[in-house]
Amino acid sequence: MTDKIEFDPLERALTLSVWRAPTNATLLEGGITNVNVCLEDEGKSYVVRLGEDIPVHGVMRFNELAISLAAHHAGLAPRVHHHEPGVLVLEFVDARPLKEADIRDPDLLPEIVDLVRRCHNEVANHLHGPVLTFWVFHVVRDYAATLKNGRSDYQNLLPELLKTAETLEAAVGAIDLVLGHNDLLAANILRDDKRLWLIDWEYGGFNSPLFDLGGLATNNGLNEQQERTMLEQYFQMPLSGSLFHRYSAMKCASLLRETMWSMVSEIHSEIDFDYAAYTEENLSRFRTAMTDFRAL
């Protein structure tokens, strides 16, 4: 199943039964697994997220809904105003998405790390019903099967990537289990005049905290000193060599998953996005990170 959009998203958003007098519907930029529409109704603004399940990526909308509700009750995310199959309506928050340079800002990074800790420590307390687990090494193995079955141009890389994944999984070792966001791109963190917001819970699920920390670092170009500072703040203790080694393995796994996500999207997505360039970029990042990991 692809994530092909086979409808007019503006019309779909405007004709939801929840509205009284919807106006000013506009497409929002971004969104590479769904389409987002902003509109107004009775003086309030909302974001309408349109997207079906995407089994090849493990995106199940019941899971996104459950975690979105919990994240709002934990004080991290906007309120869910309405939902129905393929539709999630959120209250609009007047905030701007961060850029990668913002994540690297030494004055802002501690606040972001605190946001991640709150996600891991508080959201699960508000969850109801079944929720998925996001184990990156299962995801990588499943992606490899999808790429092989889809006769991907990257099939020749799969044996090496899977062998590397085995090495990384062994290096990560035993984990603590938390409710992770699992997609910490800068644009998924919003900032207004008072606070930060964490949005887009498509990949949310139980995971190791090291995955979110590694993703935060790799997605936003943190240098090693920033990584060490991030880890010491998150764990609230001096950083040991063992923890940094386990973290570095998970960081590589995060990059491998992002690379293979893009490879799969090249053959299964029809959204207008340059997945081939994204694959190349992340494959390069992954190989650089593996070189650093092997040198530890």
Q: What pLDDT score does 2 carry?
A: 41
Rounded Cα–Cα distance for residues 149 and 16 (Å): 38
Q: What pLDDT score does 270 carry?
A: 80
- Helix, strand, coil shares, percent, the chain, to 5: 50, 15, 35
> Has this prediction a pTM greater than 0.75?
yes
Q: Give me the phi and psi of 254, to 5 degrees please.
A: -60, -45
Instruction: Provide the residue-wise pLDDT of the chain in tens; the chain has 296 residues.
Output: 344 446 799 999 999 999 999 999 999 976 667 899 999 999 999 999 999 999 999 999 999 999 999 999 999 999 999 999 999 999 999 999 999 999 999 999 999 999 999 999 999 999 999 999 999 999 999 999 999 999 999 999 999 999 999 999 999 999 999 999 999 999 999 999 999 999 999 999 999 999 999 999 999 999 999 999 999 999 999 999 999 999 999 999 999 999 999 999 999 988 788 999 999 999 999 999 999 999 99
Q: What pLDDT score does 3 carry?
A: 46
Q: What pLDDT score does 6 carry?
A: 60
Q: What pLDDT score does 24 carry?
A: 96
Rounded Cα–Cα distance for residues 67 and 65 (Å): 6
